[in-house]
Amino acid sequence: MLSQSEPIVIVCAADDNYAMPLAVTIRSIVVNLRSSREIIFFIIDGGIKEFNKNKIIKSLDTRTRITWLQPTNDFISKQLKTSGHITLASYYRLLIPELLPIEYSKAIYLDCDLIVNEDIGKLWDIEIGEQYLLAAQGCSIPYVSSPNGVVNL
């Protein structure tokens, strides 16, 4: 069983076009948290303007803190191809192991265009054992290299 005092680590990725949906996602997490646990947000910043960052920061409460992570597009642009509606920011989740500080061995990645309707602590407290990754299958993109999905090279 995980410690109820352990902070919950959430990672999201967004560019300035998704700054406001990101603020909604963050706020929905905070509002539905049923404990006094701390939430640490790591936002992979694909170019969010300072004005929008400040609006997001103002929506936080005392249980939360936010760190802006700056990805380099070099790895992504050299290794991966973008197609159609998929931008470089779509690939940022692949950089989480490189961007997240080493003291964090567990994180929940959430797309920045969703609303969390339950206590995120319930998900955080699930024992994952030896698994490196747990994921939910997407409705419109059920597998890697699906039409409209991320290209698998």
Helix (H, G, I), strand (E, B) or coil at 113: coil
Q: Is the pTM of this model over 0.75?
A: yes
pLDDT of residue 114: 93
pLDDT of residue 79: 54
Domains of the chain: 8-124 (3.90.550.10)
Q: Token digits for 80? A: 């991966």
Q: How far is CA 116 from the centre of its chain?
A: 12
Encoded amino acid at 50, one letter: E
Q: Is 2 left (phi over 0), alpha (psi -120 to 50) or beta?
A: beta
Closest CA to 150 of 85, 97, 71: 85
pLDDT of residue 108: 95
pLDDT of residue 85: 58
**Below-70 pLDDT ranges, the chain:** 1-4, 73-89, 144-145, 148-153
Rounded CA separation 10/37 (Å): 13
Closest CA to 12 of 74, 2, 137, 23: 23
pLDDT of residue 4: 67
